[in-house]
Structure 1
Amino acid sequence: MTVLLVRHGRSTSNTAHTLAGRSAGVDLDDRGREQADALVERIGTLPIRAIVRSPLLRCERTVAPLATALQLEPVVDERISEVDYGAWTGRKLGELVKEPLWAVVQQQPSAAVFPDGEGLAAVQARAVAAVREHDRRLADEHGGDALWIACTHGDVIKAVLADALGTHLDSFQRINADPASVSVIRYTALRPFVIHVNHTGPALNSALVAPEKVPPGDAVVGGSTD
């Protein structure tokens, strides 16, 4: 199974340089709405079987045009919601960089727990569990490899990618997930394969086909059947 991790389009909070977190009513800005519409051409021609999204408005708005084009009803999953930043929610990023915790978030995120909120290690655990669970469910429903979308948030995507890459959460700040970017992971019985990271181009087709079947007993050399 192959998941397309889609970050929501640019939001009003992104342009205001505030930490939106789980604030209600944070919508896409004009650019974000353009990005949501563009997803139809970027990935709408792919054989996508399901859309799973965060419950927050900016993710709902991001997948709406694509869901209409594909005639799919998105599934809402709280486990891929934004980080609960607690007391940091809604604050200016320029203020937060002065907080002692900011350095921990940047240098040792596995130890970062937001005041009155959650820790980044817990975020990774819930998000990875959700993605892998949906992946197994859809594999059973569709009998093998298929594409599906998880529309979520930057830190959540970076945490899931770090897990797929087999790297420690403390390295997840080395990964970018820009607004409306698409990152792609193919989960197999052997290991996850990261196909794309932070794709923002006009069309996403490369490597998004079902892998060739490898005969029993044959090894896959170099992680590829090419």
Structure 2
Amino acid sequence: MPTLLLVRHGRSTANTSGLLAGRTPGIFLDDHGTAQAAALPGRLAPIPLAAAVHSPLERCRQTLAPLTRARPELPLYAEERIGECDYGDWTGRKLAELADEPLMATVQQHPSAAAFPGGETMRGMQNRAVEAVRDWNERIGREHGADATYLMCSHGDIIKALVADALGMHLDLFQRIHVEPCSVTVIRYTPLRPFLLRLGDTGDLGSLAPREEGAAQGPPAAGSDGTAAVGGGA
């Protein structure tokens, strides 16, 4: 089964102004986020990608723009199901104001019970995102082979929810996970279990590149055959 690179979009103007952007149109990367996106092709250069899938929102499209310019042959697809959570009436409000809302305690401590007024439930958000990944895993594996790697550019809560699913964690624990803007989280899916290879990585990704034939190799990479590396692996 394929390996998935989950890229959170670069830092946005909403991030720096403390707004809960949600699905608000017209939210773009700030200058720092633009620089983060510009560095992404270099970070991913050693990794062959079968496809790039993205949330339809502008900040995700903008994050992938330098990558698609560097790799014009890379197939690019929009996927509604990995779009930002629908925060309903909370959309566009200051996070500092929302901290006093009674619902915030549920969002923080019991997110599986959280339902945003006029929006969706956090449980529904996770379910649609997981379903999207399952569908794309099947498609990428069918079209590009079981060893293929592909990328999804999405949002913080979506990525955290997907990591929780991969780790077999209840959604109520997903607030313990943190991913920085333009970080890369890597999940290798196998028939037995998923393996979390990176979480919120903002540095070099060269060790994820395929090993060259004939090169000296240690034990199989963790998760390459669905078996965990006993003792921690190489």
Tell me the TM-score range normalised by the shorter chain. over 0.9
Residue type of the alignment partner of 2:49:
I
TM-score normalised according to structure 2 size: 0.89
AA of the residue aligned to 1:82 = E
Q: 2:36 is matched by which residue type in structure 1? A: Q
Q: Which amino acid aligns with 1:84?
A: D
Q: Distance in 1 between matches of 2:227 and 2:148?
A: 20
Please name the residue that 2:27 is paired with.
26
Asked if the contact 2:22–2:87 (Cα under 8 Å) also holds between the matched residues in 1, the reply is yes
Map of 1:195 onto structure 2: 197
- Corresponding residue SS for 1:24: coil
* Structure 1 unaligned blocks of 5 or more: none
Q: Distance in 1 between matches of 2:3 and 2:209?
A: 8
1:209 Cα deviation from its structure 2 partner: 3.5
Which SS does the other structure have where 2:7 is aligned? strand
The one-letter code sitting in structure 1 at the alignment partner of 2:40 is L
CA distance in 2, matches of 1:8, 1:24: 15
Q: Deviations over 1:85-142 (max 9, x none)?
A: 0000000000000000000000000000100000110000000110111111101111
Query: Take 1:40 and 1:125, find their aligned partners in 2: how far apart are those partners?
Result: 30
Distance 1:165 1:15, change over 3 A: same
| Separation in structure 1 between the aligned mates of residue 146 and residue 233 of structure 2, nearest angstrom | 17
Which residue matches 1:14?
A: 15
Output the CA distance in 1 between the equivalents of 2:228 and 2:102.
46
Residue 212 of structure 1 deviates from its aligned partner by 4.9
In the other structure, the counterpart of 2:133 is: 131
Q: Pairwise mapping of residues 68-147 of structure 1 onto structure 2 (< 5 A)?
A: 68-71=69-72, 72-147=74-149
AA aligned to 1:198 is G
Within 2, Cα distance between the matches of 1:172 and 1:220? 25
Identity of aligned residues (%): 54
Matched-pair contact (CA < 8 Å) for 1:44–1:69 = no
* Greater than 2 Å deviation, 4+ residue runs: 205-213, 218-226
Shift of 1:219: 8.9
Structure 2 CA distance, aligned partners of 1:199 and 1:91? Answer: 29
> Structure 1-normalised TM-score?
0.93
Structure 2 residue aligned with 1:155, among 142, 151, 157?
A: 157
Q: CA deviation at 1:67?
A: 1.3
Counterpart AA for 2:192: L
1:161-180 correspondence runs (5 A): 161-180=163-182
**Would the aligned equivalents of 1:44 and 1:70 in 2 still touch at CA under 8 Å?**
no
Kept after mapping to 1: 8 A contact 2:191/2:226: no
Q: Compared with structure 1, are the counterparts of its residues 107 and 46 closer, same or farther at alpha carbon in structure 2 (3 Å cutoff)?
A: same
Distance 1:130 1:221 in 2: 25
Structure 2: segments with no counterpart, 5+ residues: 212-218
Letter in 2 for 1:58: R
Give the Å deviation of 1:74: 1.5
2:206 and 2:105 mapped to 1: Cα distance? 38
Contact 2:47 2:208 in 1 (8 A): no
CA distance in 2, matches of 1:206, 1:198: 15
126-135 vs 151-160, greater mean Cα deviation: 126-135
Pairwise CA distance, 1:44 = 2.7
